[in-house]
Amino acid sequence: MNRIIVCMKPVPDPQHWNKVSMDHETQTLKREGIPTIINPLDKHALEAALSIRDAHGGEVLLLSMAPPFVTPTLREGLAMGADRAILLSDPVFAGSDTLATAHILAAGCRWIGEFDLVLCGNMTIDGSTAQVGSQLAELLDLPSVMHVIDLHRKEDHLLRITQKIEHGYVRLEAELPLVISVRKELNKPRYTPFTGILAAESKEINMLSNEELHIDTGLIGLEGSPTKMAGLELRRFKREKERVEGSPEEIVQVLVDKIHRYGII
Amino acid sequence: MNKNDHDGIWVFAEQRNAELHEVTLELLGKARGLAGQNQGKVTAIILGQGIKPLAQTLLNYGADSVLVADNPVLDPYRLIPYSLVFEKLIKEYHPEILLMGATFMGVELAPRVAARVRTGLSAHCVDLKLDKDGKLLQVVPGWGGGVIATIACPDHRPQMATVMPGTMKPLSPEERKGEIKEIEINLPDKDLGPKVLEIKREKAEGLPLEKAEVVVAGGWGVGSREDWKQVEELAGVLGGAVGTTRPPVDEGWAEEGQMIGQSGKTVRPKLYMGIGISGVMHHVVGMDQSEHIITINSDANAEIFETSDVIVVEDFRKILPKLIQKIRERVER
């Protein structure tokens, strides 16, 4: 394989999600002060790409659509071992839904030119739609497989893939090129070596705007997205929050009475 | 696709081995409710081979009509043939709404279909409503469930959504009449994507989590495989099912199929008991609709207490053995 593209999304670190607040006027989320990390499943996608490259040669490219401030997060992917990164960044991309995002990533793939495989995480932790991989494949007119838990090369242009389904799995044989979305069972992402961090400093991050990509603006950004936000609220829970105290025996008695009152026993 | 001249609510009737996925019946129940509001018709779409007998079941659970594509090329499920059939049907019949389950199959298929016909899609919906103009409002959790967004697709058709299994109620089946229409399929015999070599499935064991009246769930705080048995025992005496958060699955104490939350199942039991669960949003979004919630955690600041009716701040090892014994005595009395 000569070239593998890994789609990577910088996401807000979930350790800090309790700091998310809402701007009621604009109906948007305020995420100031929340650090950015590589979407965890994308690290598994990158690991898969790196191990294929290490065994068979070729190059691994990171592809990301995000604002320019995520560059340090892309550097982390380069430190893990990717060869170079392409950051698709333009104010006209802001507010893109999954289909619009897929249009932008597809344009990025076409800009790259030839490639053999696109790897994505099955979903991101912030939006969690799990839609972009399949949509990107459709727009590139390539086959795609989601929920991938095992992957190996059979011949030069053939992959053996195991896809998880309810209570089991499906084994598939696929021809390259294609788009694959992976689950965490696939592998264990490698630790970043110190030499990798040093090497990443000199690796190339190519920033592209829509001037280079020429995507019809009717297809991207807030305006071009078929889905629209009709409302947004932070989730609030209303529960009784009655604290039961006392000796273990006393607590158990209260619990048994409650469970009885609920009609369970 | 533009929105003029579209009507009807479509439900993708997902099946493997001629067995319908539960979520199909739940979607039909919801579609029926929505159709009651907008005077629309509910159509179930079923693809596969030897699946015609399922059409009557779909009518009985709320479909007004069923489109059946019965063809060897559609068995087993493959993404590209299914996408091509949906594209053809959408272009021919112009549905207003298309719903699929947020299952392994639906999550892969729905985005591909939406991209193919260039329409919007929302993911993992937990509720669906119609606004006063009849537009579909799609309620989805984001950020691990900490944020609830309402999504609309004002100008493109069909309005598409995938729906979390377990969040909607099927109707009680009754003998109903309706049109069952077979569709001709002419797919090319190449460029249909990956070849299926093997499908392996195990029968699901025990009570399905989504159907249990009682769910006892354990988290990282349970601490060991040994103590996990107490969680299972408590579920056992209560006649319930065992649920879990992510860490016990990673530790091998519990199975992935038992996981509750954004990347697992949604449960709405009469009683949910959480043992040693910290209460991250990813889990809470899958259980916060439970009727009663009792949680035990030795950490007085555990977030799960925010979503609890009854709170016990104590080491569960001091409580569970006695609780199990008391309940057992009571049940056997």
Q: Which helix (H) or strand (E) holds B119?
A: none
Whose tokens are 């320019």? That residue is A68
**Phi (first) and psi of residue A87, to 5 degrees:** -110, 120
CA distance B205 to chain A (A): 10
Sort strands A144-155 and A158-165 into parallel, antiparallel or unpaired: antiparallel
Question: What's the full length of chain A, in residues?
Answer: 265
Of the candidates B37, B163, B161, B155, the residue with the CA atom closest to the CA atom of residue B97: B161
Contact (Cβ atoms closer than 8 angstroms) between residue B143 and residue A126: yes
pLDDT at A173: 97
Domains of chain B: 9-182 (3.40.50.620), 209-332 (3.40.50.1220)
Contact (Cβ atoms closer than 8 angstroms) between residue B159 and residue B120: yes
Put simply, the chain A residues between 166 and 195 with a CB less than 8 A from any chain B CB are 166-175, 178
Closest CB to B308 among A172, A173, A239: A239
Q: Which helix (H) or strand (E) holds A90?
A: none
Residue B18, helix vs strand vs coil: coil
Q: How far apart are CA B66 and CA B63, in angstroms?
A: 7
Query: How many CB contacts within 8 angstroms connect chain A with chain B?
Result: 251
Contact (Cβ atoms closer than 8 angstroms) between residue A51 and residue A187: yes
Q: How far apart are CA B21 and CA B14, in angstroms?
A: 6
**Does the distance separating the beta carbons of B200 and A174 come in below 8 Å?**
no
**Does the distance separating the beta carbons of A168 and B201 come in below 8 Å?**
yes
Whose tokens are 């409650």? That residue is A258
Digit-coded pLDDT (tens) for A61-73: 999 999 999 999 9
Sort strands B9-12 and B97-101 into parallel, antiparallel or unpaired: parallel
Question: Would residue A245 count as lying in a domain?
Answer: no
Residue B194, helix vs strand vs coil: coil
Half-sphere exposure of B261 (CA within 13 A, CB side): 26
Digit-coded pLDDT (tens) for A35-56: 999 999 999 999 999 999 999 9
Distances (CA, A) of B241 to A75, B196, B232, B235, B281: 45, 34, 8, 6, 21
Residue A22 has pLDDT above 80, yes or no: no
pLDDT top residue among A23 and A56: A56
Q: How far apart are CA A75 and CA A190, in angstroms?
A: 15
Q: How far apart are CA B145 and CA B128, in angstroms?
A: 16
Question: Would residue A164 count as lying in a domain?
Answer: yes
Residues of B in contact with A98 (CB under 8 A): 111, 121, 123
Its domain, for residue A65, covers 3-224
Contact (Cβ atoms closer than 8 angstroms) between residue B304 and residue B279: yes
pLDDT (tens digit, 0 to 9) for every residue of chain B, 333 residues total?
A: 555 578 899 999 999 999 999 999 999 999 999 998 877 899 999 999 999 999 999 999 999 999 999 999 999 999 999 999 999 999 999 999 999 999 999 999 999 999 999 999 999 998 999 998 889 999 998 776 677 889 999 999 999 999 998 889 899 999 999 999 999 999 988 889 999 999 998 876 666 788 889 999 999 999 999 999 999 999 999 989 999 999 999 999 998 889 999 878 889 899 999 999 999 888 998 898 899 999 999 999 999 999 999 999 999 999 999 999 999 988 776
Is the complex ipTM higher than 0.85? Answer: yes
* CA B111 to chain CA mean position, Å: 16
pLDDT at A250: 95
Looking up residue A110, the CATH number of its domain turns out to be 3.40.50.620
In this structure, how many other beta carbons lie within 10 angstroms of the beta carbon of residue B169?
A: 12
Domain count, chain A: 1
